[in-house]
Every structure is written in structure tokens, then in C-alpha cells.
Amino acid sequence: MTSAHDPSKKSELTVRRVRVLDGMHFSFRLLEHHYRGMYQFCTGIEEDQTRIAAAFASCWGFIDVLHRLRELAQVIPGLGHKAQELKRFLGRTKLAEPYRHYIQHLRRELVKSEPNPFPVWGSLTWVDSQDPNLTHTVMLGANLGNTGYSGAVFDTVERRWVSRVCLGVGTDSFNFDPIFEEAMIFEKFVVPWMLAHDADTLTVLREPPIISIRFDGNVQGHDESDDPGVETAG
């Protein structure tokens, strides 16, 4: 959360920076939230398949938040579209756009005359928690006979899987580990960059104030005996 001292006296540009940074700061935290629990949900699926919903929610939630971050990154006051850090972030996270478009328009996808040859919610693949050479894939959707899926990508140079978790839609695989890393690299650049432009007035509140309200007793002048269904002693 961001703060500007007496924002009513700040320039329109400063106010815009405050609001954009607010949007980005919480989006980064939401992205982190979805990512941190994702692998743990996946590795627990074999023992408890109710975790499938939590795993898919983390994946699709991550993609939705990343889409929002990409949108906000392109309207940061003063940060030109040719900035190398912005171009790198947008370039290396661009797969979020077709994924988000697909799920955002799922109604349209499901009424096609020719159904998509992959599960409705995609295929989720993760690396085994004990055997780094082993992966597991679960498909969420009916197998219509010709249903296909895309799984984990193996880097033959590094001799490892590109990501511990990936989500397949069509022939694409969304590799969460490297994409999350790119988002964090961008955050380390863009937040200090924005703060530097309003160093005297703008800051990130790590502990925003909490407003608490307690209601005790009856509303003054209210007689419970007037309420239908309320029993009073007498």
C-alpha cells in the first residue's frame, strides 16, 4: 500500500503514481500468494484429490493477477514503453495473455462447433517431491477420445525440468517458476523507480492501518418487542 502526505495538495501526476503503485504492490503480493502454495497443493494431489481445486485455483489465479500486472505496468507515469526492464517483463510473461483470454471467454470456447482438443481447464503437471526426474499430470475435463494435453518441459542443457509446476492449454505450457522469477525481477526494478520520482512524499506502507468497529447492545430507541419473531421475557 502506498501513501502520500496530504494527497489533496499533490500534483495529478503524483496522485496517479500513488494509485498505480497501490495497484501494482497488491498485485505483486497476490501473485506471490498464488505461487507460494501452488507446488504444495500439487504434490498433495496423489494422496488427497480434493487438492486439485486448490491447485488449479492457484494456477488460474496467478495468470489473472499477472495479466493485471502487465496492464498496470504499461500505464506507469513516466516509464516509457521502450524501457528495457519493461520490455523484458512484458516479453517474458506474454504467455499470460492467451491463457487469460481463453479462460475469460470460456463460454465462447465451449460453444464452438469443433471442440478444443484439450481439457476444459487444461492439464496440470508437477515434479514429484521425492524424485526430481518424475512428473505427474492431471487433466480436468472429459476425455472425448481425441483429447490431448501438454506437460512439463525438460531443459536438455540444464538437465532439469523448466518449472516444478506447469499448466497446459492446447500445445502451450505455462511454466510458473521462471515467469514468477521475471515478475519479481521487475518488482525489484519498478517499485524503487517509482518511489524515486516522489521520494519526499511517496512510500510503501508495510503495515496499513486496520479500522475496527464494535457494536454492543441494542440500537438506541429500538424495542425488540416490536420485531416479529423476537421473543421477550415477561
> What DSSP string runs through 84-129?
HHHHHHHHHTTTHHHHHHHHHTHHHHHT-SS--SS-TT-EEEEE-S
Domain extent for 53: 9-116+176-207
Total-model pTM: 0.83
Has residue 202 got a pLDDT over 70? no
- Per the structure, the count of domains in the chain is 1
Q: How far is CA 108 from CA 57, 64, 87, 177, in A?
A: 21, 18, 31, 30
Residue 12 confidence (pLDDT) = 78
Positive or negative CA dihedral for 150, 50, 31, 136? negative
Asked whether residue 130 is domain-assigned, the answer is no
Asked whether residue 87 is domain-assigned, the answer is yes
Region 35-56: mean pLDDT is 94
Asked whether residue 127 is domain-assigned, the answer is no
Asked whether residue 227 is domain-assigned, the answer is no
Region 105-123: mean pLDDT is 87
Mean per-residue pLDDT of the chain:
86
Has residue 90 got a pLDDT over 80? yes
Asked whether residue 77 is domain-assigned, the answer is yes
Band (pLDDT 50/70/90 cuts) for residue 9 is low
Cell of 174: 505455462
Asked whether residue 224 is domain-assigned, the answer is no
Q: For the chain, what percent of residues have pLDDT higher than 70?
A: 85
Asked whether residue 44 is domain-assigned, the answer is yes
Instruction: Tell me the β-bridge partners of 3.
Output: 203
Asked whether residue 218 is domain-assigned, the answer is no
How many Cα atoms are found within 13 Å in the side-chain-facing hemisphere of 63?
A: 25
Region 20-25: mean pLDDT is 90
Residues 147-193 have pLDDT tens digits of 778 888 989 898 899 999 999 998 899 999 999 999 999 999 999 99
